Amino acid sequence: MSEVKDIEAVAYKPSEIIGTVKAWLMKQNETAKMVLVEGVYKPKTDIARYAYCYDLLIDEASGEELTLVMPRNLRMDLVSGNCVTVGGFLDRSVQKGGQIQLQLKVTRIVGQQVAKVSEADAERMTILQEKRNRGFKNLDSILEHKLFNDERPKVALLLAASSITKSDFEAVIHSARANMDFVESWTSFSDKIELCRTLRLLDESGYDAVAIIRGGGTGLENLDDVEVLRTVGEMNTPVISAVGHVEERLAIKEIVDKEVATPTGLGEYFSRLCERVASEKAHSKAVLVKEVKKQFADQIKSLESRLTKQENDFKEERAGYIEREKRNVEEMANMKGKVAWMANKLNERKRTIVMLAIGLAVAVGLMVWIGMR
C-alpha cells in the first residue's frame, strides 16, 4: 500500500476518455491491413436474417473466441465445426462500459476443411469456455486480504503419492510457513476417479486455496482428462497449479485460477507473496504512525493556539480590571477629600453660629442689665 501523494492533474470525464480512445482506434483501423485468420467456425444463429452476421472463430488450442462480422452471402457456404481460414480487417471499437471489442470484418473465405478436433478436445474447449464464463478467482487478492488482516491462509497441497517434488517446494517455502498453513494431501494421479474424489473433498474442506503439485514426465496426460478438468473447473475453492515443465502445454494450466511453472516456482510464489505483504504492512504502519503524529501535532497546535488566545484575553481582562480599580481608588480619594472639605466648612459654620449665639446672648444680657438700672 503506497502513500497517497498530492498531484496536480486535469480531471477528465468518462465520455472524454472514451472519445479519446475511439479517435485513436479509428486512426489505427484506417491504417489496418488485411489479415488471414484460421480457427473453428461457430455460427451464433442458425439463420442469417441481416445483411451482416456476427459469428465466432474459435482457437483450437486455447478455446479463445474472435467475433466475425461477415456478409450473409459469404456465410452461406460455411459449416459449423469446420476449420476455416478467412481474410478481413481487424476492427477495434469501444463498447458501452468502456470495453474495447476486437472483431474481424470478413471480406473473403480462403479455405474450409473438416476440423481435426477429437470429441475429447472439443469437450475440453467447452469446459475451458465454461470456466471463462464463470470467471477466474483472484487468488493473489484472496491471500493478500488474509495476510493483511493477520489471518493465516490455509492451503491444501495435493501431491502425487510417488512424487519427489515436495522437496523442491519445501526448499523455498521457509518464509511463507511463518504466515501460512500448508496441509499435505496425497493421492494417485494415475487414477482419475480417485483424483477427482480427492479434489472434491478438498473443495468442501474450507481451504483458502488448493495447490496441485506434480513434476514433469510420464503420467501427466491424466491431468488433462475431461473429468479431471471438469472437476477443477467447477471447484469453488481457488486452484493453483505447479504441474509439469515450463514447455509442457496442458489444458489444466488453462483451467486453474493461477498457474506457476514448477513446484519450486510455487514455493517462491508463496514466499514472495508473504514478503511483499509484510513489506507493505510495515510501510502502511509507518504511514499510519506518521498520519497519527500529524493529527496529534495539528491538535496540539490548535490547543496551544486556543490557550494563547485565552491567556491574552485573560491578560487584557486583568489589565482592564486593574485600571478600573485604579480609577475607583482615585475616585475614592477624591470623594474623601471632598468629604473632609465639606466637614471643615461645616465646622467653620458651627463656630460662626456659636460665636453669633454668644454675641447675641451677651448683647441681650447687657440690654437687660442696662434696663434694670
Mean pLDDT, residues 356-371 taken together: 82
Q: How confident is the model at residue 200 (pLDDT cuts 50, 70, 90)?
A: very high
Q: At 143, is the secondary structure helix, strand, or coil?
A: helix
Q: What residues does CATH 2.40.50.140 cover in the chain?
A: 14-117
Residue 163: what are its φ and ψ, rounded to 5°? -85, 150
Q: Is the pLDDT of residue 34 over 50?
A: yes
Nearest to 255 by CA among 215, 285, 228, 293: 228
Would you state the pLDDT for residue 318?
A: 84
Q: Is the pLDDT of residue 320 over 70?
A: yes
Place of cell 480457427: 39
Mean pLDDT, residues 239-266 taken together: 85
Q: How confident is the model at residue 373 (pLDDT cuts 50, 70, 90)?
A: low
d(CA 169, CA 174): 10
Mean pLDDT, residues 91-114 taken together: 79
Would you state the pLDDT for residue 204?
A: 95
Work out the mean pLDDT of the chain and round it to a whole number.
Answer: 81
Mean pLDDT, residues 151-172 taken together: 80
d(CA 365, CA 232): 150
Say if residues 87 and 110 touch (Cβ distance below 8 Å). yes
Q: What residues does CATH 3.40.50.280 cover in the chain?
A: 118-330
Would you state the pLDDT for residue 157?
A: 93
User: Among 150-154, 228-232, 245-249, 315-319, which is the least confidently predicted range?
Assistant: 245-249
Residues contacting residue 164 through CB under 8 Å, at least 6 positions apart = 215
d(CA 127, CA 181): 31
Q: How confident is the model at residue 329 (pLDDT cuts 50, 70, 90)?
A: confident
Name the DSSP letter for residue 3.
P
Say if residues 251 and 131 touch (Cβ distance below 8 Å). no
Residue 38: what are its φ and ψ, rounded to 5°? -120, 140
Mean pLDDT, residues 244-262 taken together: 83
Q: How confident is the model at residue 287 (pLDDT cuts 50, 70, 90)?
A: low
What fold is seen in the domain 14-117?
OB fold (Dihydrolipoamide Acetyltransferase, E2P) (2.40.50)
Q: How confident is the model at residue 126 (pLDDT cuts 50, 70, 90)?
A: confident
For residue 278, the tally of other CB atoms under 10 A from its CB is 15
Q: Is the pLDDT of residue 5 over 60?
A: no
Would you state the pLDDT for residue 45?
A: 66
Q: How confident is the model at residue 238 (pLDDT cuts 50, 70, 90)?
A: very high
Q: Is the pLDDT of residue 15 over 80?
A: no
Nearest to 38 by CA among 59, 56, 54, 55: 59
Q: Is the pLDDT of residue 285 over 60?
A: yes
For residues 120 and 212, which has the higher predicted lDDT (pLDDT)?
212
For residue 273, the tally of other CB atoms under 10 A from its CB is 20
Would you state the pLDDT for residue 201?
A: 96
Would you state the pLDDT for residue 137?
A: 93
Q: Is the pLDDT of residue 209 over 90?
A: yes
Would you state the pLDDT for residue 95?
A: 66
pLDDT digits (tens, 9 = 90+) for 54-74: 888 888 766 678 888 888 888
Would you state the pLDDT for residue 196?
A: 94
Would you state the pLDDT for residue 6?
A: 47
Superfamily holding 118-330: Cobalamin-binding domain (3.40.50.280)
Would you state the pLDDT for residue 240?
A: 95
Mean pLDDT, residues 226-235 taken together: 93
